[in-house]
Structure 1
Amino acid sequence: MAKTRWGILSTAKIGTGKVIPGIQRAKGAEAVAIASRDLARAEAAAKELGIPKAYGSYEALLADPDIDAIYNPLPNHLHVPLTLQAVAAGKHVLCEKPIGLTAQDAAQLLVLPRDRLVMEAFMVRFHPQWLRAREAARSGELGEVRAIQAFFSYYNVDPANVRNQLDIGGGGILDIGCYPIVAGRFIFEAEPRRVVALVDRDPATGVDRLASAILDFGEGRRAEFTVSTQLTPLQRVDIVGTRKRFEITIPFNAPQAEAVTVYTDDGSRLGDASAVAQTIAPVDQYAEEVDAFSAAIRGEITLPYGPADAVQNMKIIDALFRSEKSGAWEAV
């Protein structure tokens, strides 16, 4: 099998620490080049990670004819512009979430050539624990699923960090709130009709540091979440049906190439005493994502996640920000 050749834009931590190792573990992909606006930094990363080529500009990497696909982990405000540049250079693009700053920003990706693939990098959709959760919801094992609850937080008050810079897309909803939104859409296999949000902003930076939201999927179904950039690190997801609940204990940052455990619980005993554990074999969700995208590039599979899916996620985020201002339910 010919491997898809990947180039990486920037030496961002998510790339060097997570996605590049995932590319290197993938069966149908290889990391062949990395770029930074600082050539020395690119060369150091290439040497450390065993990547053959290093470039001192993004444009130089995009011009490399030996690269098939680009991974774009740049700050949020550069997701759409550099993705457009990559596609214009003939590359396929796996772009970090969120795909853009707003739905209008992301909508620029809807008119790309059909032979160029662009996908938002929600790696969780490829992890077996999430596939198992959706199977449990689909099959009726949980009964009628009516509620999904999620919590995701970390602590970061560094004003120099891109996540705390409002003008380039910082804040918790864009950074991590997008994950519970995807979780609701993935499990319900539907779109929310309206949303409501309560948001607290950092008085110094202006970014949203604590946000809670309800997504109404209609027919008595809702997804609720709280995300924060200034609380003790925590994450969990509970998918609750009329017969059982399904718990993902490390839903978003599942350890790479390690086993994880999920639980089903019928509530017949107090606490977690009735919970039944299932071990998910070791897997790298980034490698799974890269392999799926690489296979789609080669025409071996068709992925359901493209620019339209990414724009829909941004429409939901836009509605949450409108709700923050209006204090009311907002239609998606």
Structure 2
Amino acid sequence: MKPVRWGVISTADIGVKKVIPAMLRGKGMEIAAIASRDLGRAQEAAQKLGIPQAYGSYEALLADPSIEAVYNPLPNHLHVPVTLQALAAGKHVLCEKPIALDAPEANQLTRAAAKTNKLVAEAFMVRFHPQWQRARELVRSGTLGEVRLVSSVFTYFLDDPTNVRNQAEIGGGGLYDIGCYPIVIARYLFGAEPFRVTAAMDRDPTFKTDRLTSAIAEFPGGRHLVFGCATQLVPRQHVQILGTKARAEVMIPFNAPPGQTTIIRIDDGSDLSGANIKTETIPACDQYTLQGEVFSAAIRGGPPLEFNLQDAVCNMRVIDAMFRAAAGGTWQTV
């Protein structure tokens, strides 16, 4: 397969430090260009990462006819506008999460992608990691019994006012940044959409972003997602999947370290001290590499994307409902 030529919009940390190095190691793709509104920053990143071309504007990169696909890790409020620009320029787009600020905005991408016949996907790298594929297998196989509860916590501490995650006007806050992960994982494991949600939020008095969000999502069949996410608490990640026979715990659920094995623990609950826990070790990989390879293969006519743009719209609908629930203090229909 001829490698897909990728361009990266911006020198955002997640791209420069995580996604680009991972994609450079992948098969079927090459990072051919990077753009910044500051040419010097683009050139510095290109030199450091071994990227052949640097551009001093996003428009210049999008005008390059050799670029086939674009990775968009810009701040949240620019996900849709710049993705629309990329589609208009004839590029496929892998866009960071959340793909939009609300579902109606995300639907703009649905119409544009259909019109241009280009692929657009939300960059939830976790679903490409074998640990989550194994977790879903445990759910589907009945190993855990009837799975009725997914419980998750995802937190970090960040009080820098200049960081985009702490700027409410451009889509900062915990639910957008990390609360989206438990939502997408519960939808992935249950293979269904929640029909109603409720949520509570504590907002930073200065930033006005949600620094602590707790939420419940109710799925058909009496199944629940319960999670908390926070931007000003001690760093912690966990996901537990509870069934009628056993539970599974994914030990590093979201930021699985590249190149290292990961662990899933399975416990039948017969000894509360954990003496009967069984451990499964998942081979080392880089979930960002796998994500890029799958998207690139789809561009070349390989297997279609399992999670398309409509999936991203569905995730945004859940987030929208949680914001409404927190504002109104009620259950909200998704």
The partner residue of 2:268 within 266, 269, 273 is 266
CA contact (8 A) 2:211 2:231 kept: yes
Map of 2:34 onto structure 1: 34
Map of 1:59 onto structure 2: 59
CA contact (8 A) 2:197 2:218 kept: yes
The alpha-carbon deviation at position 143 of structure 1 amounts to 0.6
SS of the residue corresponding to residue 316 of structure 2 reads helix
Paired with 1:112 and 1:26, the residues of 2 have a C-alpha distance of: 28
The alpha-carbon deviation at position 230 of structure 1 amounts to 0.2
Map of 2:155 onto structure 1: 153
The alpha-carbon deviation at position 311 of structure 1 amounts to 1.0
SS of the residue corresponding to residue 150 of structure 2 reads strand
One-letter identity of the residue aligned with 2:80 = V
Paired with 2:176 and 2:302, the residues of 1 have a C-alpha distance of: 32
The partner residue of 1:290 within 289, 292, 301 is 292
1:103-134 CA deviation, whole Å, 9 max, x = no partner?
11111011124420000000001000000000
Map of 2:217 onto structure 1: 215
Map of 2:91 onto structure 1: 91
The alpha-carbon deviation at position 65 of structure 1 amounts to 1.0
Paired with 2:17 and 2:258, the residues of 1 have a C-alpha distance of: 10
Map of 1:166 onto structure 2: 168
One-letter identity of the residue aligned with 1:31 = I
SS of the residue corresponding to residue 148 of structure 2 reads strand
Map of 2:228 onto structure 1: 226
Map of 2:120 onto structure 1: 118
Map of 2:255 onto structure 1: 253
Map of 2:101 onto structure 1: 101
Paired with 1:96 and 1:246, the residues of 2 have a C-alpha distance of: 28
SS of the residue corresponding to residue 130 of structure 1 reads helix
CA contact (8 A) 2:192 2:220 kept: no
One-letter identity of the residue aligned with 1:298 = R
One-letter identity of the residue aligned with 1:272 = G
One-letter identity of the residue aligned with 2:233 = L
Paired with 1:297 and 1:131, the residues of 2 have a C-alpha distance of: 22
- Which ranges in structure 2 are unaligned for 5 or more consecutive residues? none
Paired with 1:131 and 1:304, the residues of 2 have a C-alpha distance of: 12
Paired with 1:75 and 1:131, the residues of 2 have a C-alpha distance of: 29
Paired with 2:222 and 2:275, the residues of 1 have a C-alpha distance of: 28
The alpha-carbon deviation at position 304 of structure 1 amounts to 2.5
Percent identity reads 59
1:195-225 CA deviation, whole Å, 9 max, x = no partner?
0001100001100000000000021100110
Map of 1:22 onto structure 2: 22
One-letter identity of the residue aligned with 2:213 = A
The partner residue of 1:198 within 197, 200, 203 is 200
Map of 1:180 onto structure 2: 182
Paired with 1:199 and 1:151, the residues of 2 have a C-alpha distance of: 15
Map of 1:13 onto structure 2: 13
Map of 2:325 onto structure 1: 323
One-letter identity of the residue aligned with 1:52 = P
One-letter identity of the residue aligned with 1:315 = R
The alpha-carbon deviation at position 45 of structure 1 amounts to 0.3
Paired with 2:68 and 2:36, the residues of 1 have a C-alpha distance of: 18
The alpha-carbon deviation at position 308 of structure 1 amounts to 1.2
Paired with 1:76 and 1:20, the residues of 2 have a C-alpha distance of: 19
One-letter identity of the residue aligned with 1:84 = L
Paired with 1:185 and 1:219, the residues of 2 have a C-alpha distance of: 13
Map of 2:242 onto structure 1: 240
- Choose 226-235 or 62-71, whichever is displaced more: 62-71
Map of 1:75 onto structure 2: 75
1:209-257 CA deviation, whole Å, 9 max, x = no partner?
0000000002110011000000000001000111111100110000012
Paired with 2:318 and 2:2, the residues of 1 have a C-alpha distance of: 38
CA contact (8 A) 2:113 2:120 kept: no
The alpha-carbon deviation at position 187 of structure 1 amounts to 0.2
- Which ranges in structure 1 are unaligned for 5 or more consecutive residues? none
